[in-house]
Structures are given as C-alpha cells and as structure tokens.
C-alpha cells in the first residue's frame, strides 16, 4: 500500500504539472490507523515531485479511538502539522449509534493531547441531524465543546449512506429518520453560537477564529486544483496535454486490491475522468 501511495502521488503530480503544494490532507476512512512511516514516505514523495514548502499545511484526520498521544507525536515527527479530530458527539449514546468505539471522555482526552502537541492547529468535527437528536441538548454539546476546542470547528449534518448500519436501521424503522427541520434549526443556532464565540464561517461547514482557516478547505471553495491519491479518492485538476484549460474530475478505484493492481500497471488507479465546464466546481 505504501509504495502504491507514493507511486500514485508522483504520477498525478507529474500529470498535473503542479510545481508547488501548499496543503496535504490525509483523510477518508481512518488515516490515523496508518503507519507514521507511510505518512512520511508520501510527504517525501510529494516534495520530490513538487516543492512542499516547510510552512505548507499538512493535516491528518484522527479518530480518538486510534490516536493516543504517543501516536499523534509520531505523526508530528513524520511531517503532520495540523490535526482534524473526528469527535462527532459528546453524547456516548449518540457515539454508539454512529458505530464509534470511543467515548466522549476519550474524545476530549485526545483533543487535549492534540492541542498540547499542535497548539493552534487542531480542528474538531461535531455532527448534527442525527436520528432523534434535539436542538437543545445538541447546543449544550456545542457550548461544552467551546471550552475544550482550539480555533477551528466543523459542523457536519449526517448523511445516511446506503449500505451502512445506520441507513439500514432507519430503513427498517429501528431508528427514526432524521428530521430535516430540526437539523436546519440546529445548524442556524449553531452558527449563532459560534459567531458569538468569535468564529467566522468561511464555508458551509467550517468555522475559524484567530485566522485559523484551513488552507485545504479554502482551496476547494476557491475552485483550486487538488489531487486525490489512494483508493476512492477524488481530485480536480488540469492534466498536462489537455490544452491547458480543460479541468477534469477524477475518481480513483475504490477497492484497495484493484487500485493497487492498477497503480502497479499504470502508475495510478484513476477509475473515472470527467471533463468539467467553466462553471463546474
């Protein structure tokens, strides 16, 4: 897997003609389960294929269940300089419903360790719109989180994905379907709470204060180029030899074994390429 990640990163950087990389984001799945050596190898490959300045934003998504302090420190030594903690909820019953193996206490402990190791460079996620979730208790979670968090918070509304246990439970009636009206109320009230706490909303789900905007998130919203590396990743960039103006959406093969075979054969595992029009993100 490590060698394929390195190969695909180098291949796609070559295809894109990118000569400077200002942000790298290790996300999707649970990248905190990866070896710090794998992270270091990918970053070294990026720096060889294109310039990765010392002040580039390099973020790792971390699950509290797989990110003790010693492991976070190892990721820091590998080149990570920003963390995104998948806290999700401060209610243990909600965490169980989401299939998380950590508790609210675990999440807050991980958050404290992350802030100690990466001061001013830690983001945290909070979910809204869960089945049976009410606005009042959720807002109390958000208020509590403000006492522990750093300068970046993401509020994500639950999306029921077909094939997941949660989707099946809602389909069978074991859990009530999320109420979109309640979710909308939570989102608007959450925005107000964060604004009063000094956070600025800089895109739909992300809020920052003290200038802690995510370079990577902002690049998406500015229609910047980005490369997707790894199984199921997606990217948007102008490949060399396309006339210099035709931007493509690229989706990498989802199944890890098939993706690795394709990378071994072709240098990358792109499953689908879609030319984008001028008004398409």
Q: Model confidence over 171-205: pLDDT tens digits? A: 999 999 999 999 999 999 999 999 999 999 999 99
How long, in residues, is the chain? 281
pLDDT of residue 83: 97
How many whole angstroms separate alpha carbon 237 and alpha carbon 225? 5
- How confident is the model at residue 154, as a pLDDT? 98
Q: Tokens 């094939």 label which residue? A: 163
Same domain, 112 and 201: yes
**What is the domain-level CATH number for residue 96?**
3.30.750.200
Last residue of a domain, one of 181, 200, 224: 224
- Same domain for 270 and 159, yes or no, is no
Instruction: Please identify, among 204, 224, 244, the residue that sits at the C-terminal boundary of a domain.
Output: 224
Do 125 and 35 share a structural domain?
yes
Phi, psi of 169 (to 5 degrees): -65, -40
What's the domain count of the chain? Answer: 2
pLDDT recorded at residue 245: 67
Q: Give every residue of the chain whose pLDDT is below 50, as ranges.
A: none
Sign of the CA dihedral running 253, 165, 28, 200: positive
Cα(61)–Cα(127) distance, integer angstroms:
15
pLDDT at 28: 85
In this structure, are 139 and 248 located in the same domain?
no
pTM for this one?
Answer: 0.91
Look at the block and give the residue holding tokens 């979710």.
183
Of the residues 190, 208, 224, the one at which a domain ends: 224
Q: Are residues 220 and 247 in the same domain?
A: no
Residue 105 has φ and ψ, to the nearest 5°, of -65, -40
Ordered strands of the 270-275 beta sheet: 234-237, 248-252, 270-275
Which pLDDT score is estimated for 162?
87
Contacts of residue 156, Cβ cutoff 8 Å, sequence gap at least 6: 125, 126, 127, 128, 205
Give the DSSP letter of residue 127: E
Q: Are residues 14 and 74 in the same domain?
A: no
Say if residues 77 and 116 touch (Cβ distance below 8 Å). Answer: no
Sheet containing strand 200-201, edge to edge, reads: 23-26, 57-62, 82-88, 122-128, 152-157, 206-208, 200-201
DSSP reduced 3-state for 109:
helix
Regarding whether 201 and 71 lie in a shared domain, the answer is: yes
Query: Which residue range(s) make up the domain with 192?
Result: 20-224
In terms of domains, do 214 and 159 share one?
yes
Q: Are residues 201 and 281 in the same domain?
A: no
Q: At what angle do helices 69-78 and 104-117 cross, to 10 degrees?
A: 40
**Based on the domain organization, do 82 and 195 belong to the same domain?**
yes
Same domain for 234 and 174: no
Cα dihedral value 199, 202, 205, 209, nearest 10: -20
Q: Are residues 38 and 50 in the same domain?
A: yes
């Amino acid at each position: 897997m490590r060698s394929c990640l390195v190969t695909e990163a180098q291949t796609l950087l070559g295809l894109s003609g990118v000569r400077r990389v200002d942000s790298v984001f290790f996300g999707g799945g649970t990248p905190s389960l990866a070896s710090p050596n794998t992270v270091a190898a990918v970053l070294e490959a990026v720096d060889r294929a294109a310039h990765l300045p010392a002040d580039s934003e390099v973020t790792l998504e971390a699950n509290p269940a797989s990110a003790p302090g010693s492991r976070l420190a190892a990721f820091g030594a590998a080149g990570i300089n920003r963390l995104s903690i998948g806290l999700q909820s401060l209610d243990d019953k909600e965490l169980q419903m989401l299939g998380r193996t950590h508790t609210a206490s675990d999440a807050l402990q991980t958050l404290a360790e992350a802030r100690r190791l990466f001061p001013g460079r830690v983001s945290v996620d909070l979910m809204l719109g869960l089945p049976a979730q009410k606005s009042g208790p959720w807002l109390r979670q958000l208020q509590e989180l403000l006492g522990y968090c750093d300068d970046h918070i993401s509020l994500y509304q639950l999306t029921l994905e077909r094939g997941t246990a949660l989707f099946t439970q809602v389909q069978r009636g074991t859990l009530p379907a999320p109420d979109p009206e309640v979710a909308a109320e939570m989102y608007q009230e959450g925005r107000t709470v964060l604004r009063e706490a000094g956070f600025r909303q800089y895109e739909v789900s992300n809020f920052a204060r003290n200038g802690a905007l995510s370079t990577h998130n902002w690049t998406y919203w500015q229609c910047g180029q980005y490369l997707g590396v790894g199984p199921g990743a997606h990217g948007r960039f102008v490949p060399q030899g396309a006339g210099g103006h035709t931007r493509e959406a690229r989706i990498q093969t989802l199944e890890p074994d098939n993706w690795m075979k394709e990378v071994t054969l072709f240098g990358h595992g792109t499953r689908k390429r879609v030319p984008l029009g001028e008004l398409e993100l």
